[in-house]
Amino acid sequence: MSTPLTDEALDAIVAVLRDELARERPVEVPGLGTFRVEHQPATVDSTDEGSRLRPPRNTVVFAPETD
């Protein structure tokens, strides 16, 4: 018998994931995969038109669970 997935439960799952990722902590969801935040430091992109400094940023990546 499965537990019904209510809106409240779904919102709670999303909120937990968002909070943990905001703290840059990886989160493993059993049966699904692992979410984590990858930090990308500031970089300088050089093009024909000149160089641009890009600020640092975080990116969310997901590694699916392999069977």
Partner 1 sequence: MASSIPSLLADRLNVSDEDARALLRTLVRELRTHAATDEVRLSGLGTFSEAPDGTLRFTPAPSLQRHVNASYEGLSSEPVGSLETPPTTAATKARTPDEDPSVPPPDAASASDADPAASGEAAAPNDAPDHASPKRVSPGPDASERRSPVRAVWGAALAALLLAAAGWLMYSEPGLLGASSPPASSTVSSTPPSDTASDTTSGSESPSAAASDRSSSPRPASSSPTARASTAPNRWAIVVASHTARTAALETAQSYRVRFDTVKVVAGTVDGQTWYRVAVGRYGSEPQAEQALARSKGTLPTGAWTHRLR
Q: Does 48 bind partner 1 (CB under 8 A)?
A: no
Measured CA to CA, the distance from residue 63 to residue 58 in angstroms comes to 16
Provide the mask over 16-45, with x wherever binding to partner 1 is found by CB under 8 A and - wherever it is not: xxx-xxx-xxxxxxxxxxxxxx---xx-xx
Number of H helices, E strands in the chain: 1, 5
| Least separation in angstroms between CB 44 and partner 1 | 4
Cβ atoms of 14 and 6 closer than 8 Å: no
Footprint of partner 1 on this chain (CB under 8 A)? 2-5, 8-10, 12-18, 20-22, 24-37, 41-42, 44-45, 50-60, 62, 64
